[in-house]
Amino acid sequence: MSDKYASLGVSSSKEAVHRATRNNSKGLFPYAFCKIDSYDYSPKWLNNIAKLFGHRQVGISHADGAGTKTSLAYIYWKETGDMSVWRGVVQDSIAMNIDDVACVGGLTGRMFLTSSIDRNSHRIPDEVIAELINGENIFLDMLRAYEIDITGQSGETADVSDLVRTVTVNNSLFCQMPYKNVIDNANIKPGNFIVGLSSDGCALYESKYNGGMGSNGLTLGRHGVFAPEYRKKYPESFESLIDAGSNGVQSYTGTKKLDEKVNAWGVSYGEMVLSPTRTYAPVIKKYHDLHLDREISGMVHCSGGGQTKVLNYLSNPMTVTKYDMFDIPQLFNIIQKESGQPWEHMYKTFNMGHRMEIYTPSKDAAEKMIDVSKSFGVEAKIIGCVERGAKRLLIKSPHGRFEYSR
Amino acid sequence: MSDKYASLGVSSSKEAVHRATRNNSKGLFPYAFCKIDSYDYSPKWLNNIAKLFGHRQVGISHADGAGTKTSLAYIYWKETGDMSVWRGVVQDSIAMNIDDVACVGGLTGRMFLTSSIDRNSHRIPDEVIAELINGENIFLDMLRAYEIDITGQSGETADVSDLVRTVTVNNSLFCQMPYKNVIDNANIKPGNFIVGLSSDGCALYESKYNGGMGSNGLTLGRHGVFAPEYRKKYPESFESLIDAGSNGVQSYTGTKKLDEKVNAWGVSYGEMVLSPTRTYAPVIKKYHDLHLDREISGMVHCSGGGQTKVLNYLSNPMTVTKYDMFDIPQLFNIIQKESGQPWEHMYKTFNMGHRMEIYTPSKDAAEKMIDVSKSFGVEAKIIGCVERGAKRLLIKSPHGRFEYSR
């Protein structure tokens, strides 16, 4: 079966971009989850004092966004009139940034956030922009309540209807943090345990049930799950060229309506796919506070590339085996069933149950991390391990054993 | 005559956004050109040493982008096959950021750049992304040759064809700089001279003639100047709703073709409107090196809002008079003639000849700044002054005397 995702115009592996950036600097830690640059205090004598006392600093510049989740938010808002969906979209974009930067230890530093909102003012009124700005403030207040040092409220809103069909939400995060706290995935080694932090459920710092979606795979999630009626009703919500390829119609090929209830608790399909991306920042901040980070070899945010993401960060040949993942959240079963995407591809596109994984050589530390995570209402467990062997990833799933080597 | 710009879906004054951010923090210097936050070195004792010796720091988070210039770059590239146009688009986006941050003295600090590229992969192939990345490297290398401390090569490229018709290019800039070097527009006062730095011509650090466009007013510039044939040929280059309003067809209402020559030197209309946004950073860096910044009361980057931008930064009632601006560059005469936009609106939308203005109480310093600017091949002169009076802006132009109060 052909890869439906490619015919939707999304390259989940981003090979082209990797080619273009081949000659770019990889920073101080080439295998770290984010690019890390040196960061000197000025003037020089002050920097020398800082270094002398072990306070050398590094800087991380990062960018990410809500992706096509805004397209679904748009039709959900049009259908239901529910403005609050836009607050979730901001959380999506910010969480994608902060959870990436958390993977290198960034929560021990200071973070500055900017936002870039590009909108089509013919479709997106000022009230939506106001909700996006409110959403940022609410989410940052929550993070700060967990003693995460983040400054926001800077950014640009551009009226670019000739470029954007509805609205795009992107953020950038600059982080300055101590060199000594850097988590470098080059330390991932055979013998490591892998702690997975669940992507669904309801964390103490979340206000309602989270389906576990994150901000990746949304193009497939939207078109795979939702019904053809939206194709006609909201032509502004997708690129019509996706229906013109040799694979035939690819837009809105599912059977579900946005407001159709998934289960007896009253959660709709729309709400489930639109669940704001969970941040793991409060949990990981606690790991730092408890010095559990001393036992962390590496961290991987399973965003673009899903469960295969770790393959980008292995510094030597070794085999990552995920033998005891969480039960697949209902959401991903629905997406697979509706879209017909092969299970092997599902693991390359979605988080499938945990969006954050922590690599540690210590079983004791792993257990402490699991307990801390559970104390925040986030399920956690050892989902796999790293072994000697060729560079590859093995996933043992209820739907078969899948092997990935890139 | 109605405001053509509003019917194109662009609010040049961004009132809605200002409303939504009304309760947001204005930072340490509410009248400064960019939001400035405190920035403490860590640990605290080190920060105390820094402050004690006059090295207190501030942080600036900023975001801006190329706007709809990418839409014109797209059709220019499709028509001519000229890939290099994409390098200019990156310069547009970066210059919009760095010239904003330069207005608060940011060039005396250290800057970290990130990029967010959202593309429609059905329209924009990998080669374009590669040119965008190359363009960033070339432009940053040029800036570094003038001893501007900027680190780049971080960012995100997202395949979001359901959101973006062609491609959007946005950047964010984080700057850490000394508190003592902050340029605060609250210091703009009656008695100030205004030095304007020309937006057109060919600076020593530019490789060809610059029409003076910048990255604002592109929606009007494109639709006002270029011919209806592009409407049919490139429906993906604009929002068709702009033609459905009560004002009738608004897209591509001009008479010019992209490759039509403007003058005997062989510059085409397409090239002219697509001239990459000139950065003034090398000139302003030199002002700092020569300590001319001690005589700077304020700086205004005439971006969104054009020549009226300064009205956002006056801390008290005073009258800004621009009585001797540069001759209007050919480009803006063309845009006015083709679009029929009233001259009064032209000054609110475009830079009309200078995109950077420096406020200084010293005529001597003004003359030195003019000399420095000319030494870089950038024309400069005193274009106006600040006087006692009501909060307003007077522009004495060859097309009449215009008064603006917001």
**SS3 readout for B264-331:** CCCCEHHHHHCCCCCCCHHHHHHHHHCCHHHHCCEEEECCCCHHHHHHHHCCCCCEEEECCCCCCCHH
B30 touches chain A (CB under 8 A): no
Q: What angle do CA A252, A274, A201 make, to 5 degrees?
A: 130
Return the amino acid letter for A38: S
B351 touches chain A (CB under 8 A): no
Work out the average pLDDT over B65-75: 97
Confidence of residue B17 (pLDDT cuts 50, 70, 90): low
Query: String of b and e for A105-122 (b: at least 16 CB within 10 Å)?
Result: bbbbbbbbbbbbbbbbbb
Q: Output the pLDDT for position B22.
A: 74
Inter-chain contact A239–B50, Cβ cutoff 8 Å?
Answer: no
CA distance A338 to A260: 14
How does pLDDT run across A88-122, given as a tens digit for each residue?
A: 999 999 999 999 999 999 999 999 999 999 999 99
High-pLDDT (> 70) share of chain B, %: 95
Those residues with Cβ within 8 angstroms of residue A211's Cβ, 6 or more apart along the chain or in another chain: A200, A267, A271, A272, A273, A275, A329, A330, A331
Work out the average pLDDT over B161-177: 97
Q: Which two tokens stand for residue A262?
A: 């998934």
Inter-chain contact B114–A242, Cβ cutoff 8 Å?
Answer: no
Q: Output the pLDDT for position A266.
A: 84
The answer to which of A356-360, B8-12, B45-49, B390-394 has the lowest mean pLDDT is B8-12
Q: Are the C-beta atoms of B108 and B289 separated by less than 8 Å?
A: no
Q: Are the C-beta atoms of A304 and A14 separated by less than 8 Å?
A: yes
Q: Are the C-beta atoms of B137 and B150 separated by less than 8 Å?
A: no
Strand-by-strand arrangement of the B380-387 sheet:
B298-301, B354-360, B193-198, B380-387, B319-322, B392-397, B400-404
Work out the average pLDDT over A368-372: 98
Q: Output the pLDDT for position B1.
A: 37
pLDDT of A326 higher than 60: yes
DSSP B371: H
What stretch of H or E contains A97? helix A85-102
How does pLDDT run across B235-280, given as a tens digit for each residue?
A: 999 999 999 988 899 999 999 999 999 987 788 999 999 999 999 9
CA distance A293 to A56: 18
First to last CA, chain A: 20
CA distance A64 to B111: 19
Q: Contacts of residue B155 in chain A, CB cutoff 8 Å?
A: 63
Pick from A251, A270, A247: nearest CA to A75: A270
Where does residue A394 rank: exposed (0-12), middle (13-18), buried (19+ CB within 10 A)? middle
The C-alpha of B293 sits at a distance from chain A's nearest C-alpha, in angstroms, of 19
Where does residue A371 rank: exposed (0-12), middle (13-18), buried (19+ CB within 10 A)? exposed
Inter-chain contact B151–A61, Cβ cutoff 8 Å?
Answer: yes
B237 touches chain A (CB under 8 A): yes
High-pLDDT (> 90) share of chain B, %: 90
What stretch of H or E contains B356? strand B354-360
pLDDT of A313 higher than 60: yes
pLDDT of B5 higher than 70: no
Q: Are the C-beta atoms of B332 and B402 separated by less than 8 Å?
A: no
Work out the average pLDDT over B108-130: 95
Q: What angle do CA B171, A237, A12 make, to 5 degrees?
A: 60
Q: Are the C-beta atoms of A155 and B18 separated by less than 8 Å?
A: no
Of A60, A166, A241, nearest to B163 by CB-CB distance is: A166
Q: What pTM was estimated for this model as a whole?
A: 0.94
A126 touches chain B (CB under 8 A): yes
Q: Output the pLDDT for position B9.
A: 67
A65 touches chain B (CB under 8 A): yes
Work out the average pLDDT over B123-127: 93
Residue in chain B nearest A124 by alpha carbon = B9
pLDDT of A11 higher than 90: no
Q: Contacts of residue B238 in chain A, CB cutoff 8 Å?
A: 161-162
Q: Which of residues 364-403 of B touch A (CB under 8 A)?
A: none
Q: For testing the chain B interface, which of A162, A177, A223 should be mutated: the one with the most B CBs within 10 Å?
A: A162
A47 touches chain B (CB under 8 A): no
Q: How many residues does chain B have?
A: 406
Inter-chain contact B9–A35, Cβ cutoff 8 Å?
Answer: no
Confidence of residue B19 (pLDDT cuts 50, 70, 90): low
pLDDT of A245 higher than 80: yes
Confidence of residue A14 (pLDDT cuts 50, 70, 90): low
Q: Output the pLDDT for position B25.
A: 84
Inter-chain contact A63–B167, Cβ cutoff 8 Å?
Answer: no
Work out the average pLDDT over B78-107: 97
Q: Output the pLDDT for position A2.
A: 46
Average confidence score pLDDT of chain A = 94
Inter-chain contact A35–B154, Cβ cutoff 8 Å?
Answer: yes
Q: Output the pLDDT for position B259.
A: 94
B14 touches chain A (CB under 8 A): yes
Q: Which of residues 76-105 of A touch B (CB under 8 A)?
A: none
Inter-chain contact B178–A42, Cβ cutoff 8 Å?
Answer: yes
CA distance B297 to B359: 5
Residue in chain B nearest A113 by alpha carbon = B61
Q: Contacts of residue B303 in chain A, CB cutoff 8 Å?
A: none
Q: Are the C-beta atoms of A61 and A174 separated by less than 8 Å?
A: yes
Q: Contacts of residue B122 in chain A, CB cutoff 8 Å?
A: 9, 239, 241-242
Confidence of residue A158 (pLDDT cuts 50, 70, 90): very high
**If you search the block for the tokens 């096959």, which residue do you land on?**
B81
Work out the average pLDDT over B158-184: 97
High-pLDDT (> 70) share of chain A, %: 95
Of B70, B116, B122, nearest to A63 by CB-CB distance is: B116
Those residues with Cβ within 8 angstroms of residue B25's Cβ, 6 or more apart along the chain or in another chain: A153, B35
Confidence of residue B84 (pLDDT cuts 50, 70, 90): very high
Q: Output the pLDDT for position B16.
A: 58
Q: Output the pLDDT for position B2.
A: 45
Return the amino acid letter for A259: D
Residue in chain B nearest A5 by alpha carbon = B159
Residue in chain A nearest B178 by alpha carbon = A42
| Residue A406 vs residues A13, A100, A338: alpha-carbon distances, Å | 9, 20, 27
CA distance B36 to B107: 14
pLDDT of B13 higher than 60: no
Residue in chain A nearest B243 by alpha carbon = A122
Higher pLDDT, A194 or A266: A194
Q: Output the pLDDT for position A1.
A: 36
Q: Output the pLDDT for position A4.
A: 61
Work out the average pLDDT over A134-156: 94
Q: Contacts of residue A129 in chain B, CB cutoff 8 Å?
A: 16-17, 20
SS3 labels along A140-183: HHHHHHCCCCEEEEEEEEEECCCCECCEEEEEEEEEEEEHHHCC
Interface size A-B, in CB pairs within 8 Å, comes to 244
Q: Output the pLDDT for position B153.
A: 81
Beta bridge partners of B361: none
Q: Output the pLDDT for position A321.
A: 98
DSSP B261: B
Of B37, B62, B162, nearest to A151 by CB-CB distance is: B37
SS3 labels along A230-288: HHHHCHHHCCHHHHCCCCCCCCCCCCECCCCECCCCCCEHHHHHHCCCCCCHHHHHHHH
Residue in chain B nearest A304 by alpha carbon = B158
A186 φ, ψ to 5°?
-60, -15
Q: Contacts of residue B63 in chain A, CB cutoff 8 Å?
A: 114-116, 154-156, 172
Inter-chain contact B168–A118, Cβ cutoff 8 Å?
Answer: yes
Pick from B274, B279, B261: nearest CA to B74: B274
How does pLDDT run across B344-369, given as a tens digit for each residue?
A: 999 999 999 999 999 999 999 999 99
Q: Are the C-beta atoms of B237 and B74 separated by less than 8 Å?
A: yes
Confidence of residue A70 (pLDDT cuts 50, 70, 90): very high
CA atoms within 13 A on the CB side of B371: 8
Work out the average pLDDT over A167-187: 97
Q: Which two tokens stand for residue B271?
A: 């090239």
How does pLDDT run across B293-329, given as a tens digit for each residue?
A: 999 999 999 999 999 999 999 999 999 999 999 999 9
| Residue A203 vs residues A69, A179, A377, A379: alpha-carbon distances, Å | 21, 31, 4, 9
B166 touches chain A (CB under 8 A): yes
B112 touches chain A (CB under 8 A): yes
Instruction: Count other Cβ atoms within 10 Å, centred on residue B142.
Output: 17
| Residue A134 vs residues A152, A339, B343: alpha-carbon distances, Å | 12, 34, 37
Q: Which two tokens stand for residue B326?
A: 């540069």
Pick from A235, A242, A229, A198: nearest CA to A123: A235
Average confidence score pLDDT of chain B = 94
CA distance A279 to B257: 50
- Dihedral sign from CA coordinates of B75, B78, B80, B83: positive
CA distance A216 to A212: 11
Q: Output the pLDDT for position A6.
A: 64
Strand-by-strand arrangement of the A354-360 sheet:
A298-301, A354-360, A193-198, A380-387, A319-322, A392-397, A400-404
ipTM, two decimals? 0.93
Inter-chain contact A16–B126, Cβ cutoff 8 Å?
Answer: yes
